[in-house]
Amino acid sequence: MQLLSTKNSAFAERIQGFIIYIVLIISGSGFLLFEIHVKNSISSKPAAIITIIALLIISGALIQILLLHFTAYSYLNMYEDHIEGKGVQGLKLKTFSLKLKEINYITISAAIGGTKIYIHSASGIFKVLTDKNIAEKVFDYYKLSLFK
């Protein structure tokens, strides 16, 4: 019997994450435009530093948007004796099915774009994006299952 599912959870958090990263990209672009505009009036070292900061902001935000996009397709279905779903492992979205006894431990962390559940097992670490309430329910049920 299915106890809970993370499918279609954290939609609002994902939208919030995308908006924040888009704002970062626009900010980084603003730095670049500022650097181009004042390049002739300041020395090359501060201009280079501004360029590096802008490129770091833009590339970091783009990477985070890609990771948020990957995790948006992740989900977890929890049953009485096992969990299954799709989780990000490295840079790939992988399907998994694990008995609760095969899980070494579960951690959760708050992040921009939602709460992430990390499922640590012998076959690797799977990241699943969800909202905070469901993540806490998964964590609590897993803790209770340890004493069965």
Q: Which of 23-27, 56-60, 65-69 has the lowest mean pLDDT?
A: 65-69
Reference 115, options 139, 84, 98; nearest CA is 139
Task: Tell me the domain boundaries of the chain.
Answer: 10-71, 74-145
pLDDT score, position 120: 93
- Average pLDDT score over the chain: 79
Which percentage of the chain shows pLDDT scores above 70?
A: 80
Tell me how far apart the alpha carbons of residues 28 and 78 are, in angstroms, rounded to a whole number.
Answer: 41
CA of 6: how far to CAs of 39, 93, 137, in Å?
Answer: 50, 15, 10
- 35-62: average pLDDT: 74
Q: How confident is the model at residue 75 (pLDDT cuts 50, 70, 90)?
A: confident
Pick the CATH number of 74-145 from 3.30.1280.10, 1.10.340.30, 1.20.120.550, 2.30.29.30: 2.30.29.30
What is the secondary structure of 21-63 as a DSSP string? HHHHHHHHHHHHHHHHHHTTTS-HHHHHHHHHHHHHHHHHHHH
Q: Is the pLDDT of residue 10 over 60?
A: no
Q: What pTM, to 2 d.p., does this model score?
A: 0.67
- 113-135: average pLDDT: 85
